[in-house]
């Protein structure tokens, strides 16, 4: 229990910054009568939550900072005389009123063989893909509030190109959205096996990004908002699973093209809908890649 609490506190603490934290874990096996440890499947990190016990039931209080109105009110301090009228007033005060539209954009094609991260710049095709993604977003006619992007080179370059088509929209860089290994995938794959510790370093950071950016609107927000997040395939796939309350270890079952658009909608009541996943229908078939 202490280990789970430590992970939860560390992951929550990351939401306010960009530093990665190194975690170590020891797998504990169940003892057989003969004394040998019986192997078992590894537990999910505490910051991922227990996604196996809900049997597909929706948790209305899923937000990382508990935005469900009833959870924000201390019912024991309620004035007995005013009763339901006071409760209704407090609920209205904490209740979200606006819908958040979140557009998750995967960076465009880049040179994967660059020895350093700064050398992994966009290819000529990647730059064309970003132009098309920017044109597509501009064609929607929406008033975008901001662009939040990963600090990695390929995401920064993609942001610069898309930003030209959305003049006046502010851009914010963050380390939280950098690419990484969010959680050990199920089923496992043979062609991609990060070190076990990487799941704890990257996973806590990506979970912190989810808690920091993916939630229902603040009660003070009056109008619907439209936000763009330009980052990476692993980050987007994990965020989609978490937002829909699907088992997060299934993130690798999803596939995203370069420059693709994923559209999440978060209603005032906290319900989440996936409008599009990895849309690249606005690109000619010969320009679609997944590298």
Whether residue 185 sits in one domain with residue 104:
yes
Q: What is the overall mean pLDDT for the chain?
A: 82
pLDDT at 192: 85
| Residues in a beta bridge with 274 | 264
Alpha carbon distances (Å) from 174 to 15, 89, 153, 213: 11, 37, 12, 11
Q: Using CB atoms within 10 Å of the CB of residue 175, give its burial: 0 to 12 exposed, 13 to 18 middle, 19+ buried.
A: middle
pLDDT at 217: 95
Whether residue 211 sits in one domain with residue 144:
yes
Separation CA 161–CA 236 (nearest Å): 20
Whether residue 77 sits in one domain with residue 192:
no
pLDDT at 63: 84
19, part of any domain: no
pLDDT at 48: 57
Whether residue 228 sits in one domain with residue 110:
yes
pLDDT in tens, 11-49: 444 444 444 333 333 333 344 444 444 444 556 666 555
Asked whether the predicted pLDDT for residue 1 surpasses 60, the reply is: no
Residues 6+ apart with CB under 8 A from 44: 50, 51, 52, 183, 248, 249
Mean pLDDT, to the nearest integer, of 195-206? 91
Domain that holds residue 82: 65-94
**Of 40 and 230, which is predicted with more confidence?**
230
Whether residue 176 sits in one domain with residue 88:
no
Mean pLDDT, to the nearest integer, of 67-80? 56
pLDDT in tens, 108-122: 999 999 989 999 999
Whether residue 208 sits in one domain with residue 80:
no
Whether residue 174 sits in one domain with residue 282:
yes
pLDDT at 270: 93
Q: How many domains does the chain have?
A: 2
Model's pTM, two decimal places? 0.77
Asked whether the predicted pLDDT for residue 136 surpasses 90, the reply is: yes
Mean pLDDT, to the nearest integer, of 51-67? 70
**Highest mean pLDDT: which of 90-99, 153-162, 195-204?**
153-162
**Of 17 and 182, which is predicted with more confidence?**
182
Mean pLDDT, to the nearest integer, of 239-250? 97
Asked whether the predicted pLDDT for residue 104 surpasses 90, the reply is: yes
Whether residue 120 sits in one domain with residue 82:
no
pLDDT at 11: 47
Asked whether the predicted pLDDT for residue 263 surpasses 60, the reply is: yes
């Amino acid at each position: 229990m202490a280990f789970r609490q430590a992970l939860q506190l560390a992951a929550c603490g990351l939401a306010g910054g960009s530093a990665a934290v190194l975690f170590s874990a020891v797998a504990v096996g169940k003892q057989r009568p003969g004394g040998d440890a019986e192997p078992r499947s590894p537990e999910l990190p505490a910051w991922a939550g227990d996604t196996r016990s809900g049997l597909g039931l929706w948790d209305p209080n899923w937000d990382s900072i508990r935005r469900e109105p009833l959870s924000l009110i201390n019912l024991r301090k309620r004035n007995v005389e005013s009763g339901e009228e006071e409760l209704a007033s407090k609920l209205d005060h904490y209740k979200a009123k606006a819908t958040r539209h979140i557009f998750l954009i995967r960076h465009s094609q880049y040179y994967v063989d660059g020895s350093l991260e700064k050398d992994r710049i966009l290819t000529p095709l990647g730059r064309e893909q970003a132009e098309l993604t920017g044109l597509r977003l501009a064609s929607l006619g929406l008033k975008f509030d901001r662009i939040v992007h990963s600090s990695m080179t390929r995401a920064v370059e993609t942001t610069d190109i898309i930003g030209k088509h959305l003049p006046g929209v502010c851009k914010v860089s963050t380390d939280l959205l950098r690419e990484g290994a969010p959680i050990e995938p199920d089923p496992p794959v043979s062609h991609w096996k990060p070190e076990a510790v990487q799941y704890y370093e990257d996973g806590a950071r990506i979970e912190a990004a989810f808690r920091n950016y993916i939630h229902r609107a603040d009660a003070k927000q009056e109008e619907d908002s439209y936000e763009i997040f330009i980052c990476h395939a692993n980050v987007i796939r994990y965020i989609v699973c978490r937002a829909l309350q699907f088992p997060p270890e299934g993130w690798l079952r999803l596939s995203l093209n370069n420059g693709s658009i994923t559209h999440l909608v978060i209603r005032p009541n906290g319900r989440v809908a996936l409008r599009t996943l990895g849309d690249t229908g606005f690109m000619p078939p010969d320009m679609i890649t997944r590298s």
